[in-house]
Amino acid sequence: MSDDHKSEIAARAAWLYFIAGNTQEEIATKLQVSRPTAQRLVSLALAQRLVTFRFEHQVSACMELSEALLERFGLKYCNVVPSDPKDTDSTAGVATSAATFIEQMLSGQTPVVMAVGTGRTLRAAVRQIQPMQAPHQTLVGLVGNVAPDGSASFFDVLGRLADRVNAPHYPLPLPVLADTDEQRDVLISLRVVENAHALARRADVTLVGIGQMDMDAPQFVDGFISRDELLQQIKMGAVGEITGWSFDIEGRVLEGGVNARLTSAPLKGAGRGFVVGVAIGEKKEKSIISALRGQLINSLITDEFTANRILAAT
């Protein structure tokens, strides 16, 4: 873990202790560390003078937003990172935060199953992960790794992550979309696909991007669906998508349309483990809120700008 990451975690521990009044045991639970580590983090924050008579770290406002989102939506985990005032669409901060979260989840001795989606932000996060040896961890893909033209998907995250952490991984060796509903049924009945879907269902940690459903929708811009298919999904009420699954304003997964040909692992909802949405931006505000409302995710990594908009809108 880099010194910057360690300082940020220490700052969060100090905020929880000195400002929010959490016990060390509560801090350990919220930061997913041991109690002795929580104590050391608070001590580190004091030694680095992140805390004097007032909170001196830029993460203070972000922590307040994180706590507000945790309470508003009953989340298991939330991290709000500072926004770049000159570029509110920059994903650098959330990519760093997602990288830190992934490292924390995979660096422990307890085996975990981690399911991952695709997308630019998650790819950026993987690039920041420090190489480690984690052969006791298990990674599984949520989305097919074959592009519409039959080539390997440019947006695949699973293989890159497995290389960084030296962990066994289980991809979905499928096109993201089948040509027909019937073809999709055949593809997902394959034993290797059924095994991967089953592994995804019992994942301890799931990380996904959240896409909006408009003319800049990632599915459309990246060539996975046509303009007509996009307009059909919007007409059906789609406001966003997670791993290709379109959902409406209430966070309900749509029946029919593109969803009927999708080979991605079904969305399991927020009942088991961490289901972390990683997304920012004004364009994604509605889709993030709907995913939270429908409990398609139970954790969120976002930035100040987006967090403020979500809280103001809800």
CATH class of the 1-57 domain in this structure: mainly alpha
Q: What is the average pLDDT across 112-134?
A: 92
Write the pLDDT tens digit of every residue in 169-180. 999 999 999 999
Q: Whats the size of the chain, residue-wise?
A: 314
Distance of CA 268 to the CA centre of its chain: 14
pLDDT of 151 strictly over 60: yes
Structure tokens given for 279 = 């997304």
- Is residue 82 within 8 Å of residue 12, measured between CB atoms? no
C-alpha to C-alpha distance for 289 and 251, rounded to whole angstroms: 8
Query: What is the structure's pLDDT at 175?
Result: 93
Query: What is the structure's pLDDT at 305?
Result: 94
Q: What is the average pLDDT across 232-257?
A: 96
The values of phi and psi at residue 236, to 5°, are -75, -5
Q: Could you give the percent of the chain with pLDDT greater than 90?
A: 66
Q: What is the average pLDDT across 243-261?
A: 96
Question: Domain residues of the chain, as ranges?
Answer: 1-57, 64-313
pLDDT: is 85 or 7 the higher one? 7
Query: What is the structure's pLDDT at 83?
Result: 85
pLDDT of 85 strictly over 80: no
Cβ of 192: how many Cβ atoms within 10 Å?
A: 12
For the chain, the average pLDDT equals: 90
**Matching fold, domains 1-57 and 64-313:** no
Query: What is the structure's pLDDT at 170?
Result: 96
Helix (H) or strand (E) holding 188: helix 181-188
Span between the terminal Cα atoms of the chain, in Å? 35
Assigned fold of 64-313: Rossmann fold (3.40.50)
Q: What is the average pLDDT across 16-31?
A: 84
